[in-house]
Amino acid sequence: MSKILVLDDDPQILKMVSLILKKRGHHILTAENGSHALQTIESQQIEVLLTDILMPDVDGIEVINTCRKKALPVKIIAMSGGRRKISAEFNLQSAAMLGASEILPKPFTQEQLVEKIELVTSC
């Protein structure tokens, strides 16, 4: 199965998503910030990055932008629930314009998560 890096500053999201995807047979790595995620992507052969957008430190948009500028061969699924004045829709549209393969609005169901993973890993 696929080697997937899950990036989110919320430990509960990391745990939930990791458990769901591990049950599906994927090898899961996690990162709680964008800096750690970029180091992991550059040092390991990550097939899929599932990234939150709004995070302290290096946010998901910066991670996506860096991956695409460096032409890193990783498929990206951007997820966001928005925050205050910034809507999830705006965040996800921005991520798609920068090169995210798929977008996933929060909250999402287990089925929606698995569907997005299957979409990017079947290409």
Helices (DSSP H) in 24-109: which residue ranges? 34-43, 60-69, 88-98
Q: Which residues contact 8 (CB under 8 A, 6 or more apart)?
A: 14, 17, 30, 32, 51, 52, 55, 79
Domain that holds residue 43: 3-121
* Mean pLDDT, all residues of the chain: 93
Per-residue pLDDT averaged across 15-38, rounded? 97
The percent of residues in the chain predicted with pLDDT above 90, rounded, is: 82
CATH number, domain of 109, equals 3.40.50.2300
Least confident window among 9-18, 66-75, 77-86: 77-86
pLDDT of 82 higher than 90:
no
CB 45 within 8 A of CB 72: no
> Domain total for the chain?
1
Q: Is the pTM of this model over 0.95?
A: no
pLDDT for the residue 84? 61
Q: Which residues contact 33 (CB under 8 A, 6 or more apart)?
A: 7, 9, 55, 56, 57, 58
